[in-house]
Structure formats: structure tokens, C-alpha cells
Chains A and B, each alone.
Chain A
């Protein structure tokens, strides 16, 4: 049965498996068989790293094929081509769109070894018992379903998870302190006329609109019911404020790719802009002063997780659970946290990080020695502290999660008008 299923995957592999089956007609032991399994994972570039696939081969024995796509393509593929993948590495807001199609299967929590150690954000939405839950598509709101075949989201923790959280972070504005020369404390500074012609925002509508909303709210211009799910009126008002700023020449450029944001900042074309944390590191690595500025209104946060295709069953499903448990076991967590992201189970990641690394990345302590990322690049020198401080300080002040709105199509059209204005 399993052999038959395998032979459907790639002709060569199938032929080899069939050959093996004829040569050893006796029932194969599981550990032997799992080596023939190939799981196809696709997702956004952030966590689709070849190092992970290599380590899977070493530790678990089976093959993991990775495909990296942009988030629009990921959404489309998860929603329309369920047969083309085994594991989907997607963001929580994408899950909100894709889950109702029934292309993913719920995961049995009792098979997840480290479930109890997963941080509260992904279970009841609270980092600590006192935390308030942020706006937008908070991961716990789309993290559970009612049963193995559920296509709706459960309001509270159940035994069936939609995605296993893997990677997340808190985003804010990046600034050039050397060119600004004064403290920046609020999102409203993005539209401050002082930075006319030196500001930028990202031209990816679903995220750009959130940053815009953080700015408008900080300016006191608009009070949102939920920044992650705006009404048409709120969208209109937000875009009106930004269109006016654009016409007045506030923005130097808009960026769409990681490299563009790095170049804008490094060349001094822009001194304040929406940015992603690895981009800050890339600017710093050129010896240019750049800060991921914590702001009093809080962060815009995002999170991703892995989901299982509806088509997985038998040995491959077992292998997928094996992979998930391995994912939460700490090696990947350490690998991601040493790049500045957070792992869903920080305490297991700690075993794979030095005390200095753990102190710098997670606890917000001063580095006692040079901090390098897994690729060997220096990220910080002794004595430096992470922008924004500790895990609790950063993830504890999330104002809004990346989201998909009910009025998404309307928002996209308004965003296009803003770009064309």
C-alpha cells in the first residue's frame, strides 16, 4: 500500500522502491522504510531553508524537498493545488484564507510531544496571563479546529491544531539614527514633514495597510475597531491620509523586495521606513548605523506554521508527525533564533544556543562576546543589546497581527489607487 503510494511520486524513486520490495519480500521494518519517504514542503522563503532539509536527512533519514514562493503564490497553491505538496509552511493569515477549502488536515495534539511547551500566544493568545490579545489575525484564533475534519476554527484550544507554529517575530520601523539625530518614539513619525522625501513604506498591500493604520492611529487621526479587519470607511480614511502625504512628497520610494528596502536605507535615500528585521541586519553588516526602533504603540507581528496536506496518510503521515516533533525539539528553533526570529518552543531551542546567544536574542541582555548567525556573519558586538529588548518586552507589546480583511478586495483596489495617485 505504502510502496504503491510511493511509486506514484517520482518515477525513479518509485522504481527503486519497487525494486527493493521485490528483493526483500519480507515485511520491512519501519525505520528502513521511512528512508524512502519524500515529503514535499513549500512556503515563503523565511523558514524554507536548505539547512533544515539537510538536518532532516541526517536526523530522521527521510528526504524533505523545499520550494520557496512569495506569499501570494503560496496562498494560491495551498488553496488550489492540494496534490502538489505534503507540508505547507504558511503564515497564520494565509491559514485563515486556505483552511476553509479543506485542503489541509487537522493535527492530533496528543501526538505532539512538546505541545505543553509551546508559547501561550499560539494557544490562548496570551503571552502571560495578564496580556491583552492584539488586533488582526492573532494565531490562536485560527490555530484550532473542532475535529479531524473540521473546516471552521474553534474558539478555544481543542485536540486538533490547524498549523504547528514554527517562526514568528515583531516588526516595527527601521531608522537611520545617524541621519535623524533625535529619538524616535512613535509610528506617527513616518508622516512627520521633517522626513519629507526621506520616508518609505512597503508596497505589499496586506502588510502596508497595517503599517499605514499604525501610523494613522498614532497620529490620532483614526480610531480603528480592528486594524486587522477594517471597514470600508476606515480604509478610505487611511488611504486619504497617505495619498495626501504622497502628493506632498513625503515618500522617497516604495519598496517591494527585501533588497530594495536594504538599498534604500543603506544609500541614505530613506531615513525612516517600514522594514523587516533581517533587512536591518543586512544594513548593519555594511557598517551603517541602523536601528529597529521599538515604538510606544507597539509592534506589528507575524507568525508562520506548518500544516499537513489532506493527502498525507500512512507512513508519510507518520513521517510528517516525526518531522513536526523534530521541528519543535530545538535544533531548528536555535537555528532560527540565532537569526533573530523566535521559536514556538523557546525552552528547547535554548539547548542549541550558547549562553551568550540566548542572553542576547531572548533575554535582551548585553552580548558578552561577538554574536554570529548560523551562516557565520557577525550580528552584534560585545556590549550591544538587542533593539526592543527581551522576548517578553517585544512579543508582549504586539499591537496587531498580520491579517486578511473581510474587505480585502476593496482594500487592494484602494491601495492600487494610492500607488497610482
Chain B
């Protein structure tokens, strides 16, 4: 009896250990290392182990940090609004307007086709399209809508957000579509039978039941946008900064401790955002 119980404990530990080890080596240790290095000091070409608040002092003492974090959150918020609106609409169409499952799957796969190419390529292909002498401007001019090329199409916040929305909308579509497919159709019929209009059904039945999907999509989009550096660099022509670019600049200049400190602050910010989001929906319970 006792032996059996020990055995069961042991089996439990053994079963859990592969994942635990993987997480320790590839998640906990790297993050611990980043936290440790963030207290080190650096000269131009060497890194000195130390315990110093210097990096954090500089980070919190510089107005640039606040501006850049503000900018990062601004991008995340705007991109979230657009990806949610588009992603929800696409998922709604797929789940409720397309009748046969074959077509649902076919159209869903169609959505994923662009994602078979690298996201850098998808992003950079916007540049010749939006440029001063690009397709968009030529079309606008020949249609007589504008006389001069529109400058703000490229290397602006507009192009950054456009690229983000283009890159990340699918991350909203997939989880929302998934939760919509699980909604029992009889619930919707019941709502109609009870006299609810289409809009009332949407707000009272479908949206509440889609919350976990929306939340998962939100977490994807927000973390991807907040951690990005390459989209902002290319689409703003290096003219805008977000936190990722701050870290990238530090790394290029071999200021690893300062980069780590920024990364730690970013990590905490993102965790806080996710923490707040999870207060609204209990993903575990509703999945």
C-alpha cells in the first residue's frame, strides 16, 4: 500500500519532469540570466558582472523611455482595435454565413495562404506599393483623386500599423473562429425564437461566448506587437521607435546590460497587461 503510493508519486514526478526540464532550461534559465545581466555594467567593449541599479536608473530617468513605451502601447492598442474588428468579422462570416463545412475549411485555408511566405517578405512588399512612386500613389494620381503623391502612405505610423494589422489579423481570426464553431447553434435559434434581433443575438449570445477566443487572440496580438522591432524599423524608415528597437540599438552597441534592463521592464509591462486581460475572462474555465 505504502509502496504503491510512493510509486504513484514517483510516476507523477517522472511524468511531469520532461516538460519541467524543458521549461527550466529554455524558459526559466534564460529569463533569470536576462534579469541577472540587467544589473551588470558595461563599458564600450566589455561587460562587468556587478550589482548596480545604474541601468534602471538611466532607464527610468530618461524621458525617451516614457515616450518610447507610450509609442509601443499606442501601436499595440490601435493594432488591437483593427485586428479585433477585422478578425471578428472574418471569423463570424466563416462560422455563421458559410453553410457547409467543406467551404468553411477551404475558405479558412485560403486565409492562411499568405502566411506560407516569410513575414519579413510580406512586410517589405508593402514598401514599393506605398512609396512615393509606388502603385498606390500612381493609382490615386491617375484616378484624379490627388495631384501630388501622398507622402504619409510610407515611412509613417500609418504604414507601421497597416503592416502590423496585415501580419497579425490571422492570430485573431483563428482563436475566435475556433470558439464560434463550438457555439451550440440551438442557442442562436433560441435567441431568435425569444424575439431577439440579429444585433441583440450578436451582443448577448455570440460575443459573450466568444470571449475566450477574443482574449487569446488579444494576447497574441498584444505580445507580438509589443515585442516587435523589425516591422517598426522597416515600415517607419527607422523614424519611429518602440521598445524593441531600443533593445536592438543597445545590443548593436554591445550594451547588453542596458538591453537586458529594458527587456525586463518590457516583460513586466507585458505581463501586467496580460494579467489585467485575464481578470476579465477566465480562459481555463471557459475553454
Contact = CB atoms under 8 A, between A and B. Distances in A.
Interface of A: 70, 72, 75-76, 79-80, 97-98, 101, 197, 200, 203, 205, 246, 251-256, 263, 267-269, 408-409, 412-413, 416-417, 419-420
Contact of B44 (A70, A269, A409): A409
A420 B245 CA distance: 9
A200 B155 CA distance: 12
Given A80-B45, A97-B45, A267-B132, A420 B154 contact: no
B238 A419 contact: yes
Contacts of B254: 72, 75-76
Contacts of A412: 253
A419 B249 contact: yes
Given A253-B238, A269-B132, A420-B241, A97 B67 contact: no
Given A75-B45, A416-B246, 14 more contacts: A72-B252, A79-B46, A97-B44, A251-B237, A251-B239, A252-B155, A267-B132, A268-B132, A269-B131, A269-B132, A417-B62, A419-B238, A420-B240, A420-B241
Interface centre among B131, B233, B245, B253 (most CB of A within 10 A): B253
Given A72-B253, A72-B254, A267-B133, A253 B155 contact: yes
B interface residue count range (under 10 / 10 to 19 / 20 to 34 / 35 or more): 20 to 34
Q: Which of A101, A197, A413 has the most CB of B within 10 A?
A: A413
Nearest to B124: A263
B132 A419 contact: no
Nearest to A419: B241
A203 B238 contact: yes
Contacts, number: 73
B202 interface: no
Contacts of B46: 79-80
A197 B156 CA distance: 11
A246 B240 CA distance: 11
Nearest to B233: A256
A252 B237 contact: yes
Contact of A254 (B68, B132, B154, B239): B239
Contacts of B286: none
B64 A416 contact: yes
Contacts of A268: 131-133
A255 B64 contact: no
Contacts of A409: 44
Nearest to A267: B131
Contacts of A197: 151
Nearest to A78: B45
Contacts of B127: 263
B128 interface: yes
Nearest to B134: A267
Given A267-B133, A269-B154, A416 B249 contact: yes
A391 to B, nearest CB: 34
6 contacts: A79-B45, A80-B45, A268-B133, A416-B249, A419-B249, A420-B241
A253 B239 contact: yes
A297 to B, nearest CB: 26
A251 B64 CA distance: 20
Contact of A76 (B45, B128, B133, B249): B45
Contacts of A79: 45-46
Contact of B238 (A72, A80, A256): A256
A144 B237 CA distance: 41
Nearest to B238: A254
Contacts of B252: 70, 72
A44 B171 CA distance: 40
A76 B128 CA distance: 36
Greatest chain B CB density within 10 A among A70, A253, A413 is at A253
A246 B239 contact: yes
Nearest to B252: A72
Interface string B42-56: 001110000000000
Interface in B123-152: 127-128, 131-134, 151
A413 B58 CA distance: 10
Residue picked from B45, B71, B128, B254, most chain A C-beta under 10 Å: B45
A416 B253 CA distance: 11
A242 to B, nearest CB: 12
A420 B68 contact: yes
Interface string B230-269: 0001001111110001100100111000000000000000
Given A97-B44, A253-B237, A420 B246 contact: yes
Contacts of A253: 155, 236-239
Interface string B138-176: 000000000000010011000000000000000000000
A252 B155 CA distance: 7
Interface in B42-87: 44-46, 62, 64, 67-68, 71
The 8 A-B pairs at the shortest CB distance, nearest first, are namely A253-B237, A254-B238, A420-B241, A79-B45, A253-B155, A417-B64, A203-B238, A420-B64
A156 B263 CA distance: 47
A413 B128 CA distance: 32
A420 B248 CA distance: 13
A252 B236 CA distance: 9
Contacts of B236: 253
Contacts of B233: 256
Nearest to A198: B132
A416 B252 CA distance: 12
Contacts of A252: 155, 237
B261 to A, nearest CB: 14
A203 B127 CA distance: 19
A420 B237 contact: no
A418 to B, nearest CB: 10
A101 B43 CA distance: 13
A98 B64 CA distance: 31
A36 to B, nearest CB: 33
Nearest to B42: A409
Contacts of A413: 62
